[in-house]
Structure 1
Amino acid sequence: MRAAFITGHGGNEVVEIGQRPEPVRASGEILVRMKAATLNRVDLYMRDSGAGITHQLPQIMGVDGAGIVEEVGPDEKTIKAGDRVVLHPGIVCGRCEFCQRGDQVLCVGIRYLGEHRDGTMAEFVSVPAENVFLMPENFDFAEAAALGVNHLTAWRMVFTKTQVKPWETVLIFGIGGGVSLAALQLVKAIGSRAIVTSREDEKLERARALGADETINGRTEDVARRAMELTGGRGVDVVIENVGEAVWPAALRSLVRGGRIATCGATTGDNPSSDLRRLFIRQLQIFGSTAGNFSEFRDLIEFCKRGDIRPVIDSRYGLDETHAALSRLEAGEQFGKIAINIESR
């Protein structure tokens, strides 16, 4: 089968598009003919170094994906051949204390597609049946694929971790990235007030068109000061961020007393300054978050079926154009998800 895979670590020169062995469906698994995947920052990380993530080369890229069921086992009762499905990217043990209590994202043996094992940027993927979900009927395959990482991550941050309420104000850093856009959509879907930041006016304008109530240009404005002005000196209830070190001080200063912040990334560095006195005097709450559980994914899909949100697709590339797609992601030019369409030959 055709796939995009890394043969080493470096730049696009280590990414090949060619033939890889087709997976053999194991007992309890479902074989899916992939139709689309979307790019995530971890795809660049795996290409560049993959440091700290156990993996073997060559390895097929792609964490999230959607497609059509090719083959199921005789005992499968929920999913059938021909179904249009989206994949949860975390393969779990099912036996540890975290899996047993339904918190699969904390599984001690979790292995992610495209990180610890072959991923979704291939004509076929075989995964455990519990990782396969019927996709929203009104979504195309790229839109469905986008749910598996960015929207699931945002769902857990917004609803499970910080538990945003309709009457609250949420500050979202780095609008234009997939998680930030997903958080904006979810926050506005329940009626909360959303303030978003970017260093580019064009992205801020597009965010307004998607429902952002206020925008802050982090290149020309002091984010914390502006957030305070926009809240009458009170501060925001919740901060959603995945930028890390560069925005952390502003994020803490933007919060109301007792406010909550959820973080899921560190694209600008993972050693932010620690304003501990502000943290304990104002009794701020910090939540680390990544991905989401099977139940959260199911809830997200059901939410999407109502028609309230639809993932923003920045651009679509063919599998043969993977180098160009990765370069666009690396340049930070995107507004929304960069999709890879996978067509069988």
Structure 2
Amino acid sequence: MRAWAVIETGKPLKEIELPTPEPKGAEVLLEVTHAGVCHSDLHIWEGEYDLGSRGKMRLTDRGVVLPLAMGHEIVGRVVKLGPDAAGQGSKVGDLRLVYPWVGCGKCKACQADEENMCLTPRSLGVYQNGGYATHVLATHVKHLIDIEGVDPALAATYACSGVTVYSAINKLLPLDPDEAIVVVGAGGLGLNAIAVLKALGHRRICVVDVAEDKLAAAREQGATETVLASAEGTTQRIIEACGGPVAGVVDLVNGTQTARFAFDALRKGGKLVQVGLFGGEMSIPLPLMPIRALTVQGSYVGNVKELRSLIDIAKAGKIPGIPVAREPLRNADAVLNRLREGKIVGRVVLTSDTA
């Protein structure tokens, strides 16, 4: 199979030939038709996370091995089933969304279909080859989801962008539909967060970003308020836009500055859900945590149960689509550079010649 792979961190992706996997057990081989380009791919490509005063965390220290075909937002067509995968809902020729956040398959978390919480992850596009390739190996047939009736390019974004915000939002809900929820970041995740909130019946959505064109896209998507972030005064502008301190914030950037202004904007009993991987560190005035009964919680992607639920909502036509641009798989490196430069509104999905 052909892959557009990271050979050396921070260097251009290279087109290489890799052995086409042979599915074993309940594994399934798919021909990739669509692969979303996610901001997380930038961190994998660059090879490290910023831990603030603790320095850098290199991904090779976490078990990432190069060369690696990234890409975890994958739709593909089934080409071969492992011997134990037959008769379990997918057959050769089916178009399927692939759940990528897989684990060891044996621990309690994996057996409960909560593999994103596995302590020995094997995520597609991170610890094993993903969607920036002509073929991908799904580790179990149960990770394939029927997307009939949903645009496959849009459906690909739900495997990370969609399920990530869906899981994070569900850590805030239930709230009164007219209680402001703040979404920090108006990229692909932010636009999907607006879409999912609207699908779940939430009416008050305030979006914060540093770029006015992305805030314009957020308003077009359905944000009721938008705030332009800057080095100073962002907290106050959020409070003014929302009519007071807020009950919940989903920080899809999660850098030092965003964490601070998001925390400071919370009302008594409020919750900050941290999703993004921008990096840095957070300094919290500790007495305020109990005095104001605040919660700060991390949220890591989502599980396959949540992805199935999200796709059911999409099939019912309740999730507004986000802007999705299509590019050939061979343009993966150029798309990553555009994403790094902040030049992408919405999501770019790489497509095969047969998509």
- Pairwise same-fold verdict (TM > 0.5): yes
Which residue is equivalent to 2:332? 322
Output the amino acid matched with 1:151.
G
Q: Counterpart of 1:43 in 2: which secondary structure?
A: helix
Output the amino acid matched with 1:283.
A
Q: Counterpart of 2:332 in 1: which secondary structure?
A: helix
Q: Counterpart of 1:111 in 2: which secondary structure?
A: coil
The change in CA–CA distance for 1:47 and 1:78 in structure 2 (over 3 A counts) is same
Question: Which among 152, 164, 167 is matched to residue 153 of structure 1?
Answer: 164
Q: List per-residue Cα deviations over 1:164-214 (Å, max 9, x = no partner).
A: 432321011111x22222111111221330001112222212211111101
Runs of 4+ in 1 over 3 A off after TM superposition: none
The change in CA–CA distance for 1:105 and 1:182 in structure 2 (over 3 A counts) is same
Does the CA contact (< 8 Å) of 1:158 and 1:164 recur in 2?
no
Query: Is the aligned partner of 1:227 residue 2:241?
Result: no
Quick one: percent identity of the two aligned structures? 29
Question: Which among 112, 127, 145 is matched to residue 133 of structure 1?
Answer: 145
Q: Distance in 2 between matches of 1:344 and 1:5?
A: 20
Q: Counterpart of 1:180 in 2: which secondary structure?
A: helix
Which residue is equivalent to 2:198? 188
TM-score by length of 1: 0.92
The change in CA–CA distance for 1:110 and 1:78 in structure 2 (over 3 A counts) is same
Q: Distance in 2 between matches of 1:2 and 1:270?
A: 36
Which residue is equivalent to 1:3? 3
- 204-213 or 40-49, which moves further after superposition? 40-49
Output the amino acid matched with 1:266.
L
Q: Counterpart of 2:3 in 1: which secondary structure?
A: strand
Q: Distance in 2 between matches of 1:6 and 1:209?
A: 35
Does the CA contact (< 8 Å) of 2:269 and 2:292 recur in 1?
yes
Q: Counterpart of 2:9 in 1: which secondary structure?
A: coil
Q: Offset of 1:322 from its aligned partner?
A: 1.5
Q: Counterpart of 1:228 in 2: which secondary structure?
A: helix
Which residue is equivalent to 2:351? 341
Question: Which among 288, 305, 310 is matched to residue 300 of structure 1?
Answer: 310
Question: Which among 165, 174, 179 is matched to residue 189 of structure 2?
Answer: 179
Query: Is the aligned partner of 1:119 residue 2:136?
Result: no
Does the CA contact (< 8 Å) of 1:151 and 1:182 recur in 2?
yes
Output the amino acid matched with 1:30.
V
Q: Counterpart of 1:105 in 2: which secondary structure?
A: helix
Q: Distance in 1 between matches of 2:150 and 2:325?
A: 19
Q: Offset of 1:303 from its aligned partner?
A: 0.7
- 217-226 or 278-287, which moves further after superposition? 217-226
Does the CA contact (< 8 Å) of 2:40 and 2:277 recur in 1?
no
The change in CA–CA distance for 1:178 and 1:136 in structure 2 (over 3 A counts) is farther
Q: List per-residue Cα deviations over 1:224-265 (Å, max 9, x = no partner).
A: 2122223333x1111010222111121012111101111112
Query: Is the aligned partner of 1:261 residue 2:272?
Result: yes
Q: List per-residue Cα deviations over 1:44-84 (Å, max 9, x = no partner).
A: 22222252331222221212210111122453331111211
The change in CA–CA distance for 1:115 and 1:220 in structure 2 (over 3 A counts) is closer
Which residue is equivalent to 1:62? 71
Q: Offset of 1:34 from its aligned partner?
A: 0.6
Output the amino acid matched with 2:129.
D
- 220-229 or 333-342, which moves further after superposition? 220-229
The runs of 5 or more residues in structure 2 that have no matched partner are: 49-57
TM-score by length of 2: 0.90
Which residue is equivalent to 2:52? none
The runs of 5 or more residues in structure 1 that have no matched partner are: none
Does the CA contact (< 8 Å) of 1:260 and 1:286 recur in 2?
yes
Output the amino acid matched with 1:67.
G
Which residue is equivalent to 1:200? 211
Q: Distance in 2 between matches of 1:201 and 1:47?
A: 27
Output the amino acid matched with 2:305.
S
Q: Distance in 1 between matches of 2:330 and 2:108?
A: 42
- 209-218 or 97-106, which moves further after superposition? 97-106
Which residue is equivalent to 1:42? 40
Which residue is equivalent to 1:281? 291
Q: Distance in 1 between matches of 2:354 and 2:222?
A: 38
Which residue is equivalent to 1:93? 104
Query: Is the aligned partner of 1:168 residue 2:179?
Result: yes
Q: Counterpart of 2:287 in 1: which secondary structure?
A: helix
- 105-114 or 144-153, which moves further after superposition? 105-114
The change in CA–CA distance for 1:59 and 1:202 in structure 2 (over 3 A counts) is closer
Question: Which among 119, 129, 139 is matched to residue 108 of structure 1?
Answer: 119
Does the CA contact (< 8 Å) of 1:261 and 1:287 recur in 2?
yes
Query: Is the aligned partner of 1:82 residue 2:103?
Result: no
Does the CA contact (< 8 Å) of 2:207 and 2:226 recur in 1?
yes
Output the amino acid matched with 2:350.
I
Which residue is equivalent to 1:332? 342
Which residue is equivalent to 2:54? none
Q: Counterpart of 2:272 in 1: which secondary structure?
A: strand
